[in-house]
Amino acid sequence: MKWNIGPPAPVPVDHPAPASSSNIPASCPMHQSTPPPPPDAPAPAACPIKHDALDPNTHMPANLSLSRQPNQQLDLPVERTASTIPRPASGSPGGEAYGTGNTWDYPSPQQFYNALVRKGWETPEDSVEVMVAIHNFLNERAWDEVMKWEKRLPGGENTQLVKFQGRPGELSPKARFHLWAGQLFPSKFNSEPPFDRHDWVVKRTVQSASNSNPSVPPETYDARYVIDYYSAPPDEDGNPVFSLDVRPALDSFEAVKQRVVVGVEEWWRGQEVD
C-alpha cells in the first residue's frame, strides 16, 4: 500500500510499490553513499529515521532521556504518544521504557532527538517533530497491513506485537527478486530498492474450540512479518509518499499457504478488472 504524508489526510493508493524510475533511489541518511538528486528534480521520499540511534530489538530510541541537550535551542515536546499496537503485558523488549499499558508507546520528540545526538547525527531541531510523526504514522500503517493478514487466521484479531527490528540495507528475498526482474522487465517490476526493511514478530493466541477445559492454557503462535519500505516522488503538494510491502515471512507452512492464497486472490481480482 502507498501513502503520502502531509495535509490533507493521507490517501491510500492500491499498489504495493512505486513505479519504476531510472533515478537513483532515495536511501536512509546514514546509508547514503550517492549524492542527492539535483535541486531541479523532485527528490523521492527518503527514510526519515536514522537507525543507528535506535534499539535493534525494538526499533525505538535506545536513549529515552527527557533532558535537553546542552546546546539545544528549541523546546521539544516531552509528552509521549500511545500507539494502537498491542503488546504483551510482560516480557516485551525495553520493559517499562516503552510503556506500561497494553499498547506500545512512541518516544517523545525530545527523547528521539537525544537518541540521535548521542549517536552523533546532526539533526535540525525543527525537523524532529516531523520525523517522529512520520515514524509513528508508518508504524501504524504497517500494523494495519499486518492485521489484514492476521485476521484471516484463528485468533488473529487478538494478535500482539512482541518485537520489531530495523534491518536497513539488508534486502529481503522478494525485494531482491523485484530488483532482478526490474532489470529485465522495467515496465512491470519495480527497479528501485526499498530504502528500509523491518522484521516484526507477533504473537497470536488461539483457544481451541474442541477444548472446553478452562484450566488448559490456549496455544500461542509466533509469526514474523517482513516490511519493505519504498519511496515515491512527492505528490502535487510536495508531500513525501511512501509505499509499504507487508507480508508474512516464509518461516512456516501456514505462512507459505497464506502467501499463495492471497496471491491468487489478488491475481483473480486483477483479472476481473481487466
Q: How many domains does the chain have?
A: 1
Give the Cα separation of 229 and 165 in Å (integer).
Answer: 13
Give the Cα separation of 93 and 256 in Å (integer).
Answer: 28
Phi, psi of 217 (to 5 degrees): -65, 150
Q: With beta carbons less than 8 A apart as the criterion, state whether 38 and 24 touch.
A: no
C-alpha cell at 169: 540495507
CA-angle at 86, arms to 119 and 195, nearest 5°: 45
Q: Which are the contacts of 264, defined by CB distance < 8 A and separation ≥ 6? A: none
> In this predicted structure, what is the pLDDT of residue 6?
42
The answer to whether residue 1 is domain-embedded is: no
> In this predicted structure, what is the pLDDT of residue 48?
52
Q: Exposed, middle or buried by CB within 10 Å (0-12, 13-18, 19+), for 260?
A: exposed
> In this predicted structure, what is the pLDDT of residue 66?
86
3-state secondary structure of 214: coil
Give the Cα separation of 165 and 43 in Å (integer).
Answer: 27
Give the Cα separation of 32 and 22 in Å (integer).
Answer: 17
Residue with cell 493508493: 13
The answer to whether residue 193 is domain-embedded is: yes
The answer to whether residue 230 is domain-embedded is: yes
Q: Is the dihedral of CA 251, 54, 97, 100 positive or negative?
A: negative
Q: H helices within the chain, ranges in order?
A: 109-118, 128-150, 173-184, 253-273
Residue pLDDT, tens place only, 169-219: 889 999 999 889 888 888 787 778 998 899 999 999 987 766 666 677 788
Q: Which are the contacts of 126, defined by CB distance < 8 A and separation ≥ 6? A: 74
The answer to whether residue 234 is domain-embedded is: yes
Residue 67: HSE in the Cβ half-sphere, 13 Å Cα cutoff: 7
The answer to whether residue 90 is domain-embedded is: yes
> In this predicted structure, what is the pLDDT of residue 3?
57
- Where in the sequence is the domain holding 162, given as residue range(s)? 24-238
The answer to whether residue 2 is domain-embedded is: no
Give me the residues of the chain with pLDDT under 50, please: 5-44, 63, 92, 94-97
The answer to whether residue 211 is domain-embedded is: yes
Phi, psi of 113 (to 5 degrees): -60, -40
Other C-beta atoms lying within 10 Å of the C-beta of residue 153: 16
Other C-beta atoms lying within 10 Å of the C-beta of residue 149: 20
The answer to whether residue 261 is domain-embedded is: no
Strand partners, 230: 243
Q: Exposed, middle or buried by CB within 10 Å (0-12, 13-18, 19+), for 231?
A: buried
User: Secondary structure of 151-181 in the HEC alphabet?
Assistant: CCCCCHHHCEEEEEEECCCCCCHHHHHHHHH
